[in-house]
Amino acid sequence: MPKALTILLDQNVPTVTARWLKSLKPSWTVHHAKAVGLSGKSDDEIFDWAQGHQAIIITYDEDFSDRRLFAAKDHAGIIRLRVWPTTIEETQAALERLLAETDDEELPGALVIIDRSRIRIRSRQTAKK
């Protein structure tokens, strides 16, 4: 049986997304940055919290997908939402596509970029080749 995932929604993701995601994936532990005291904190602090809790970060922030900053590091996983506008509806539609097209086992340690037309997954194994 696969291990349940832990998710950290970055402070730029609508807070209602946490409750919505929990309803779709009740086995996941879903946190929002604001709910765990990370409101106003730097990307480094958010990244460190996520790694300490083995949480996959879901964010709009392109810095998290920048290989020079975070993506080349070992991490629990990063899901970068490249959707516009960054509304609740667009966010949920992007995450629904991700859930429909991937298995939970693909997400830990991966860099996932979701845009309007596709989902790209760079797994830890692919990145080390």
Residue 1 lies in a domain: no
State the total domains in the chain: 1
Q: Which residue range is the domain that position 102 belongs to?
A: 6-128
Residue 33 lies in a domain: yes
Average pLDDT of the chain, as a whole number: 89
Whether residue 1 is predicted with pLDDT greater than 90 in this model: the reply is no
Residue 89 lies in a domain: yes
Residue 77 lies in a domain: yes
Residue 121 lies in a domain: yes
Average pLDDT score over residue span 55-83: 84
Gap between the Cα atoms of 88 and 75, Å rounded: 26
Sheet of 119-122: strand order equals 29-32, 6-9, 55-59, 78-82, 111-115, 119-122
| pLDDT tens column, 80-117 | 999 999 899 999 999 999 999 999 999 999 999 999 88
Q: How far is CA 62 from CA 24, 27, 38, 107, in A?
A: 25, 28, 18, 18
Amino acid letter for position 15: T
| pLDDT tens column, 5-50 | 999 999 999 999 999 999 999 999 999 999 999 999 999 999 999 9
